[in-house]
């Protein structure tokens, strides 16, 4: 069953008087997201239902509803600041998203990122069925070097199809996850979305550097446990100069050192989730993930996840 900060809840307008449904939906979605404006073209027959999964870091909502027009004005942006992004993915119906002069028309097999720190208009067709994943800004801004990357993403094949499958699996297994597990899968989804967005629209980054970044991330993930892993070691192994690697990661908002630390922390978190690793002490986990000591691991882990490895292990138990 879910543990820690991980929560699953649901709501539906089915049992409400039809005259109360729109007000109920407005209040609920404002709670789920941030302050917006709502227009219901067919108020008399509006319906809606949601299933929400959330932790302190991510939120996934699968919802179905009647036709709604959502807007967020500059005044609402100022009054109710929200730095995070949303990934929209319709499963049926159509979503038209307009923001900062750009328009994305989303149908099943497509998706888009939208930021709540800029005004937008979102038109959703009748009987829309969709996912909306809330993503912390820190996980997106550095990688994309963009404030409002509104563009339709192809989620019908390749990496995009994998993203859709992962969202469906995350929803389907909602009753059997813990908060670290939910966050771990969400991290991977965000990583793939950023790769898709970079590949589709990042004119300020040469294609070669984008390729370097992807290969460096993959190499660091595969060798994170090596205590001798450094930017220089990665450059030597991949046959590029350290300067190339530094430039590629700089454009992605990170450095070799930060990337290596991040992957080591994720490795420790994954092992905390693994039943086969329960016998490992925190010191064992630290050394096996390339950290110089248990205290170095605990300090970095708490800064990244808000709890020490020991505290996370206790919450899982």
The more confident residue out of 53 and 151 is 53
Total domain count, the chain: 2
Q: Is residue 226 part of a domain?
A: yes
DSSP characters for 231-286?
A: HHHHHHHHT--HHHHHHHHHHTT--HHHHHHHHHHHHHHHHHH-GGGTT--HHHHH
Instruction: State the pairing for strand pair 95-99/120-124.
Output: antiparallel
Res 37 pLDDT > 70: yes
- For 211, other C-beta atoms within 10 Å of its C-beta total 12
Phi, psi (rounded to 5 degrees) for 138: -60, -25
- Verify that 222 and 93 share a domain, yes or no: no
pLDDT at 285: 92
Angle of the 256-273 helix axis to the 309-316 helix axis, nearest 10:
30
User: Out of 2-6, 24-28, 115-119, 182-186, which region has the weakest mean confidence (pLDDT)?
Assistant: 2-6
195 confidence band (pLDDT: 50, 70, 90): confident
pLDDT at 130: 97
Res 59 pLDDT > 50: yes
C-alpha gyration radius of the chain: 21
- Verify that 11 and 112 share a domain, yes or no: yes
- CA-wise closest residue to 143 among 155, 151, 135: 135
- Verify that 78 and 138 share a domain, yes or no: yes
Q: What's the whole-number average pLDDT of the chain?
A: 87
Check which CATH number belongs to the domain holding 77 and give it: 2.60.120.10
pLDDT at 200: 41
User: Out of 173-182, 203-212, 221-230, which region has the weakest mean confidence (pLDDT)?
Assistant: 203-212
- Verify that 240 and 114 share a domain, yes or no: no
Q: Is residue 47 part of a domain?
A: yes
Q: Is residue 104 part of a domain?
A: yes
pLDDT tens digit sequence for 295-314: 999 999 999 988 899 988 88
The CA angle 305-308-313, to the nearest 5 degrees, is: 100
Q: Is residue 196 part of a domain?
A: no
- Verify that 130 and 215 share a domain, yes or no: no
The side-by-side arrangement of strands in the sheet containing 59-65 is 7-12, 48-54, 59-65, 128-135, 85-92, 110-115, 153-154
Q: Is residue 164 part of a domain?
A: no
pLDDT tens digit sequence for 61-80: 999 999 999 999 999 999 99
The side-by-side arrangement of strands in the sheet containing 120-124 is 37-39, 68-72, 120-124, 95-99, 102-106
pLDDT tens digit sequence for 115-142: 999 999 999 999 999 999 999 988 887 6
Q: Is residue 304 part of a domain?
A: yes
Q: Domain residues for 300?
A: 207-316
pLDDT tens digit sequence for 246-300: 888 888 888 999 999 999 999 999 888 888 888 899 999 999 999 989 999 999 9
Q: Is residue 195 part of a domain?
A: no
Alpha helices in the chain (DSSP H): 21-32, 74-79, 141-144, 158-172, 179-200, 207-222, 231-238, 242-251, 256-273, 282-288, 294-305, 309-316
Res 193 pLDDT > 90: no
Question: pTM, whole model, 2 decimals?
Answer: 0.66
Q: Which CA distances in Å does 36 have to 132, 305, 309, 312? A: 15, 30, 38, 36
- Verify that 16 and 136 share a domain, yes or no: yes
- For 36, other C-beta atoms within 10 Å of its C-beta total 19
- Verify that 146 and 213 share a domain, yes or no: no
| Average pLDDT rounded to a whole number, residues 141-159 | 69
The more confident residue out of 98 and 145 is 98
144 confidence band (pLDDT: 50, 70, 90): low
Cβ-contact 268, 309 below 8 angstroms: yes
β-sheet bridge partners, residue 106: 95
DSSP conformational letter for 148? -
In the chain, % of residues over pLDDT 90: 59
- Verify that 51 and 134 share a domain, yes or no: yes
Residue 124 DSSP SS3: strand
Q: Is residue 292 part of a domain?
A: yes
DSSP conformational letter for 287? H
- Verify that 240 and 101 share a domain, yes or no: no
Cβ contacts of residue 295 below 8 Å, gap of 6+? none
The more confident residue out of 4 and 299 is 299
Q: How far is CA 22 from the centre of its chain?
A: 29
């Amino acid at each position: 069953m879910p543990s820690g900060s991980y929560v699953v809840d649901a709501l539906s307008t089915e049992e409400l008087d039809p005259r109360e449904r729109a007000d109920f939906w407005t209040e609920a979605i404002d709670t789920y997201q941030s302050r917006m404006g709502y227009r219901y073209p067919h108020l008399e027959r509006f319906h809606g239902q949601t299933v929400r999964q959330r932790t302190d870091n991510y939120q996934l909502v699968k919802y179905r509803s009647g036709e709604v027009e959502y807007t967020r004005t500059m005044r609402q942006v100022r009054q109710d600041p929200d730095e995070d992004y949303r990934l929209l993915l319709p499963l049926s119906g159509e979503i038209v998203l307009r923001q900062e002069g750009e328009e994305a028309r989303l149908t099943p097999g497509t998706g888009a990122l939208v930021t709540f720190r800029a005004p937008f208009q979102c038109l959703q067709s009748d009987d829309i069925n969709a996912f909306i994943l809330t993503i912390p800004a820190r996980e997106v801004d550095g990688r994309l070097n963009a404030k409002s990357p509104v563009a339709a993403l192809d989620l019908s094949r390749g990496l995009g199809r994998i993203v859709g499958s992962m969202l469906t699996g995350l929803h389907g297994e909602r009753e059997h996850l813990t908060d670290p597990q939910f966050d771990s899968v969400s991290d991977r989804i965000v990583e793939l979305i950023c790769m898709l967005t970079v590949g589709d629209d990042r004119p300020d980054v040469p294609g070669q550097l984008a390729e370097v970044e992807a290969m460096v991330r993959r190499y660091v993930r595969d060798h994170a446990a090596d205590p001798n892993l450094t930017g220089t070691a990665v450059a030597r192994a991949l046959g590029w100069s350290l300067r190339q690697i530094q430039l590629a990661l700089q454009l992605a908002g990170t450095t070799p050192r930060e990337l290596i630390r991040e992957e080591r922390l994720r490795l420790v978190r994954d092992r905390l989730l693994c039943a086969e690793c329960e016998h490992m002490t925190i010191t064992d986990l630290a050394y096996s993930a390339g950290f110089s000591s248990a205290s170095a691991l605990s300090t970095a882990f708490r800064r990244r996840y808000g709890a020490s490895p020991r505290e996370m292990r206790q919450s899982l138990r």
